[in-house]
Amino acid sequence: MSDKLLVNVHDGIAQVLFNRPEVFNAMDSDVIEAMASHFMAMVGDPAVKVVVISGVGKAFSSGADLKKVALSTTGIPAAIYRLAGIFHQAVTEIRHIPKPVIAAINGIAAGAGFSTALATDFRVMAKSATLRQVYTSWGLCIDGGGTFALPRLVGQARALEIAAFDKPISSEQALAWGLATRVVEDGQALDEALAMAHELMERSLHSFGQVKSLITNAYETPLEVQLERERHALIACTQHPDAAEGVRAFLEKRKPVFNKT
């Protein structure tokens, strides 16, 4: 795997760190391929309970490495088409992994970095960090599921405003719009994300995985189909040890202890 993406698993938490600080963690094909591969592997890895994504240095990620794209011998359209395909595989893995994924946004998250952050379940932002879609400022269109996530998080009108004008979004504004889950002091985003990960591991991760899948697939689903999916997911929960522990804890009037298996 590329050392441009660092992955460390400790105490149930996988830390995934973009590691190209000299270019503000711009993503080239090596980074994106490594991200997709690691997320695919983490789906079935029992050692991984929660995933935290962040960046080394001052940035989360400044987006795709357009300098490398411009130097491609295949031409820019072919290079972007290939890179987008790999990136979309990575985003799909992030969205569908049945485990919590937290973005610790320590600095600028722009372009592909912006879309990656939106693909996660929770976003912790440092106070001075900013979000920018940037694509339209370079005559491109948003990819990486950004056009899927934005209107669902902020509404269609605001999503179009973000796309049209590409103003930097401060942490305060991101929190008000629902793009950020929490805002913390500079230098504390990763620590807060790790604290959130530990908090999540005290809850039923199996239950979370079921709910994450239901919500992810709910947007274009008719009510009757969604109700049936909920019923089957509920049965899957009841057949898991976490549900038995939850019921016992309720009856015994104590806090449940989940994720024993």
Instruction: Enumerate domains of the chain plus CATH numbers.
Output: 5-200 (3.90.226.10), 205-252 (1.10.12)
Task: Count CB neighbours of 33 within 10 A.
Answer: 18
Residues 78-89 have pLDDT tens digits of: 888 888 999 999
Q: What pLDDT shows up at residue 207?
A: 96
User: For residues 197 and 203, is the Cβ–Cβ distance under 8 A?
Assistant: no
As a whole number, the mean pLDDT across the chain is 93
Question: What's the number of CA atoms in the CB half-sphere (13 Å) around residue 110?
Answer: 25
User: Long-range contacts: 242-250, Cβ < 8 Å, 24+?
Assistant: 242/204, 242/205, 242/206, 242/207, 243/204, 243/207, 246/204
Q: Looking at per-residue confidence, does 74 or 131 come out higher?
A: 131
Neighbours of 174 (CB within 10 A): 23
For residues 105-109, average pLDDT: 98
Q: What is the pLDDT of residues 181-196, one digit of tens each?
A: 999 999 999 999 999 9
Provide φ and ψ at 244, rounded to 5°: -60, -40
Q: What percent of the chain has pLDDT over 90?
A: 76
Helix (H/G/I), strand (E/B), else coil: 173: helix
pLDDT in tens, 204-254: 999 999 999 999 988 878 878 888 888 888 888 888 999 889 888 988 999
From residue 32, give the alpha-carbon distance in Å to each of 64, 93, 175.
9, 12, 27
Burial class (CB in 10 A: 0-12, 13-18, 19+), 11: exposed
For 30, residues 6+ apart whose C-beta sits below 8 A from its C-beta are 2, 4, 5
CA distance 86 to 90: 7
